Every structure is written in C-alpha cells, then in structure tokens.
Structure 1
Amino acid sequence: MNKSGILCLYKPKGLTSFDAIHKVKRKFGVKTGHSGTLDPEAEGILIVAINNATKALPYIGVSDKVYEATLTLGLKTDTGDIWGEVVEKQTLCDLDENHVKAVVLSMVGKMKQRVPSVSAKKINGKKLYEYHRQNQAVETLYTDIEIYAIEFLWFDGQNICFRAHVSNGTYIRTLCEDIAEKLETIGSMSSLLRSKVGNFTLKDAHLLEDIECLDEVLLPTKDNIALPVIKDTQFQTPILHGKRFDLPTDEDLVFVDCGEVFAVCERTEEGNFRVKRGLW
C-alpha cells in the first residue's frame, strides 16, 4: 500500500484534469483527489492528493496561482479560447507595443470578473457549461477576484503573452477578453500554462510517465497545510478520543501535529478546541 501525500503533477495539453488523476489512480492503485482543475488544452501544475491526503485538500495552500497566457487578438469565440466556436472576427489596426504593455499592466488590482459560460459555476444546481452545451441563455455571473501582479512578456502584432499572479477563482480567459476590450478590439486565449500553485512551482512537478515509484515523489501532507501549526504530542490522546482540549493560541482554526497523529482543530463556542478533520 502506497503511503499518503501530495503529488505535484505536470498535466500536459489534451488531457482533462479528471483523466490525469484517473491515470495516477490506475497506474499506482491509490485513492486520488485534486485541487484546482485545468482545462484540457491548458498545461502545467495539477496538485494531486494521494490516499489519506485527500482529506487535507481544503487546507492545502493552493489559493494563489501564477499563469503564463497568450491572447490572440481579432478573434472572439463562444468559450473565450481558440478551441471554441468562432463568433466574430476583426481586422486589427496597428497597435503600439508600449500601449499594449500599459494596458496589460493596468489590470492589476481587485475587481469583479465575469464568469465565463463554460465555467463549472452553478445556477439552480446546474453548471454553466451544461447550459452552454444546450444553448440555453442564463444570467451573467460575476465573482470577486484580485490580480496581484502581472508581467508583460511579448507582443508580435496579433498575440500578447503575459504572466499573471492571481487569486483563487480568477478566469484567465476572461482576463484575456478584458485586455482585448481595453485595446478596443476582441480576443481569445490561445495558450495557458499554470506555472505556480501556492508554493508549488514547475521544478516540483512530475510527468506521470517519469514516475516509477510514487512514494519517492510524494510530499508530506503535514508540510503543506496552510494553517498555524502547533507541534505537541500531549494532544494526541484527546485528538484520538474525540475529546475537547485547550490550546495555547488566539487562532480559531489550527493544525495540531502530534507526530503520526495530526489534525485540523477548531475553536468551540466555549473557547476550547475539537477536531474538525483528522488527517493521519
């Protein structure tokens, strides 16, 4: 039986996130889960939890992400990327590179972002992409996001490449469309690479075909919990027996590490703590 842990997987183009983790499951005979879906034609980091680590997925620090994207101007599709159906084309005017760069850099900050029609967001219990497939019109949804930083990489007259550090829930295809709109034209995302997820970078990522022994590439679950940590073996007994106990902290949600036994614990109304999720 393989041990539990976190796998930083490199998902190639042409593969859904579900297919990627299914391949891991089938190859190694393990239980799998993942955090942060990548579109089939996108590539890059996919965080996969193995065996008991699946219980830790809500607490792993993977909210911030970095993407490298290419935006193709003069083309609009029904999905916001070049793999959708083309709905409009425009002849491009000559664009000054300095102006393009200034527009890209202007996207930094907090904003309400339109949720694309191919999103998994739900309306009345049904995902937006399901409405899209059935050609059913629905209200436009918006979500609060933040672009922490954005870097202009290059412009060749029609294609713009940029790198963006974004909050969880940011849609890069919508960001591409918004940049095009600011340039007074239309555009669609034509490539996407996720190069960083939380503290995970491309140097941590493994191609599935290169992995021979899963245990050798797994990262410890407890090292990737994004919560304040209390290390003390004295709390092992109350954690194992589901009892309430006191902790020396002002935090309301903490990670208690007792060695082989570790858990996410939450403050009760009485002020002491109880186990919210055992992770060992």
Structure 2
Amino acid sequence: MNIVLAINKPKGMTSFDVVKKIAKTHGVKAGHSGTLDPMATGVLLVGINKATKLLPYLMESRKTYRAEITFGIATDSKDITGTVIDEAVIPLITQSDCERALQLIQGKQKQQVPKVSAVKVKGKPLYKHTEDVALPVRTIEVFESKYHSHTDRTLTYEVEVSKGTYVRVLSETIAAHLNTIGTTSALTRLKNKVSLNQCQSLESALKQPVALDFYSLMQDYPIIDIDNPTPVYHGKRMAFDIDADLVCLFYDKQPIGMYRRVDDHQFRSERGLF
C-alpha cells in the first residue's frame, strides 16, 4: 500500500497522533505533509510506505485556512489553548474595519516563528526550550485574505498563504490593525492540494483508506510519463525538452522520480519515489 490519504484532522489530536494511529492500525510506515496544531482541524495529507517520499514535494504548495480571532486577550501560545498574558478593551469594530485590516496583511512579509511551535532551534523544538532563544524569522506571503463574519468580540476570516505561515501570528497582526489584541480561537485548514470536502475522517481511514490521485497531487510540477523506467531505477541522467527546473516522472500511472535540471536539456535524479 503506497498511497497518500487526505484526513480531516480531529480537534485535540496532534498531526503525529494521527499518523501514529494510521501506521499502527494498518502496520505501515506513515508521515504527514505539514503540521496542524492540536486545536486545529482540516486537511492533513498522510503518506503511506513509499508514498512518504512524496511528502516534501507536497509541503511546497499554498494552503488555505479559516480562522477565528477572539479579541481582547493575548496568550503565550497565540491561540486559545494558551495562558492569558494580556487583556485589552475591544473597540467598536465594523465589517469595513475588518475588511481593511485583512487587506493590510496581504503580500510578502517577514514573520517571526512563535515560541510555542515545533520549529527546531539548536536541534530542539522551540516549545521544549526553557531558556530564551532567538526566534527564527521567515519570509512568508499572504496571497488572499477574505472576511467571513464577525461579532462584537470575534472575527472569522479566510487566508491563502505560503508554506510555513503561522496563522496564529496573522491573527495577532489583524487585531493590532483593529487597535486591540487577539488570539486564534479556532482554525481549520480548508485546502492543501485537496479541499476539505475531499477528506475522509480518521475513523473512516482506519477502516478503509481512500487513495488520492497521484496526478492531481503532483500537478504543481510538470509531469512526464515515460515508457522505460530502468534509467530512473538506476539514477541515470535523462534528457527532456521542457522549460522547468524540476519535473516529476511517472511510469504506469505511478510517480517514480523527481528530476532536476542541470543544464539545457539534462536532468539528474533528485529523489527516487519507487
């Protein structure tokens, strides 16, 4: 069984919990393509056995989230599961105020990784550091941000973002634009290669895993179907007349290799997927 599944991650479980449960139930090797916080739900891609080799290439895609901000409080984890570290007055907030704040977070920007995160510094996840360490700063991009709804103390919005973006941090930025503070109180990943409505529940996957189509999963890369897989199996260079730096080779409807350009038409094996 060499497949990729799309799971609607349940609230309260870590991404690793989901992977571990699937691996144990089916007696397979498994991994995932992008951590979701325990409080979050939504699309979690899980690779099984040899399909785990695809996961690094699935992580590069844009992701879409729906988030809820609760205004008037800030927490140490930047979400509702953390300890409240500050409180503030919530001003009167209108829909137009919210829409303006959401426009202000669009585009490329620097974002500091939260202290409560699994990003490793000095070989250890940040959340395990008891001493003060310099928090990494990443370049991220918000491609789109949309107003969904709001109340006098909450805002629900949707964002399409680049790899590595922390929506928890975006929520704090939006609150600041609205002259208050806030923390993420709900988070759902709506899309990561596939949409939420294409996901199966964890309970369903433990009974009968549903494989995703490999061609659809790899559509961010040029796909080349080959007739003879032997050169790929031996890691040989191959020639392709295509304007791309990285291509995915398929044989018999299965991805078998990622090849990277080395000169005009020559490509070398970057990773075997067989």
Provide TM-score, normalisation by structure 1: 0.90
The change in CA–CA distance for 1:159 and 1:261 in structure 2 (over 3 A counts) is closer
Count the aligned residue pairs.
271
1:227 CA displacement: 1.7
The change in CA–CA distance for 1:24 and 1:276 in structure 2 (over 3 A counts) is same
Whether contact under 8 Å (2:7, 2:199) holds in the other structure is yes
| Partner deviation per Cα, 1:57-101 (whole Å, 9 max, x = no partner) | 122365211110000111011111111111111232322332233
Whether contact under 8 Å (1:150, 1:165) holds in the other structure is yes
Whether contact under 8 Å (2:91, 2:179) holds in the other structure is no
* Alignment partners' CA distance in 2, 1:261 and 1:146: 29
| Partner deviation per Cα, 1:105-147 (whole Å, 9 max, x = no partner) | 322111111211112223333322122xx2x222243211111
Q: Does 1:255 align with 2:220?
A: no
* Alignment partners' CA distance in 2, 1:22 and 1:73: 35
Query: Secondary structure of the equivalent of 2:239?
Result: coil
Amino acid at match of 2:139: D
Task: Show the counterpart of 2:43.
Answer: 45
1:240 CA displacement: 2.6
Percentage identity across paired residues of the two chains:
38
| Partner deviation per Cα, 1:139-169 (whole Å, 9 max, x = no partner) | 2432111111111111110001101111111
Task: Show the counterpart of 2:222.
Answer: 228
* Alignment partners' CA distance in 2, 1:240 and 1:137: 47
Alignment of 1:87-166 (within 5 A): 87-131=85-129, 134=130, 136-166=131-161
Q: Does 1:173 align with 2:171?
A: no
The higher radius of gyration belongs to 1
1:271 CA displacement: 5.6
* Alignment partners' CA distance in 1, 2:141 and 2:273: 31
Provide TM-score, normalisation by structure 2: 0.91
Whether contact under 8 Å (2:214, 2:255) holds in the other structure is no
Task: Show the counterpart of 1:184.
Answer: 179
Whether contact under 8 Å (2:3, 2:212) holds in the other structure is yes
The change in CA–CA distance for 1:252 and 1:97 in structure 2 (over 3 A counts) is closer
Amino acid at match of 2:38: P
| Partner deviation per Cα, 1:156-185 (whole Å, 9 max, x = no partner) | 100011011111111111001111111121
Task: Show the counterpart of 1:10.
Answer: 8
Whether contact under 8 Å (1:151, 1:164) holds in the other structure is yes
The change in CA–CA distance for 1:176 and 1:261 in structure 2 (over 3 A counts) is closer
Q: Which runs of 5+ in 1 are unaligned?
A: none
Deviates more, 1:146-155 or 1:53-62: 53-62
1:220 CA displacement: 3.8
Query: Secondary structure of the equivalent of 2:172?
Result: helix
Whether contact under 8 Å (2:34, 2:59) holds in the other structure is no
* Alignment partners' CA distance in 2, 1:61 and 1:85: 30
* Alignment partners' CA distance in 1, 2:89 and 2:17: 38
The change in CA–CA distance for 1:96 and 1:59 in structure 2 (over 3 A counts) is closer
* Alignment partners' CA distance in 2, 1:97 and 1:238: 59
Whether contact under 8 Å (1:70, 1:192) holds in the other structure is yes
Q: Does 1:32 align with 2:25?
A: no
Superposition misfits of 4+ residues, deviation over 4 angstroms: none
Task: Show the counterpart of 1:277.
Answer: 271
Amino acid at match of 1:59: Y
Whether contact under 8 Å (2:140, 2:163) holds in the other structure is yes
* Alignment partners' CA distance in 2, 1:95 and 1:265: 51
Q: Which runs of 5+ in 2 are unaligned?
A: none
Task: Show the counterpart of 1:203.
Answer: 197
| Partner deviation per Cα, 1:203-242 (whole Å, 9 max, x = no partner) | 110002123322xx112435422321111204x2222333
Deviates more, 1:236-245 or 1:174-183: 236-245
Query: Secondary structure of the equivalent of 1:233?
Result: coil
Give the superposed CA RMSD. 1.9
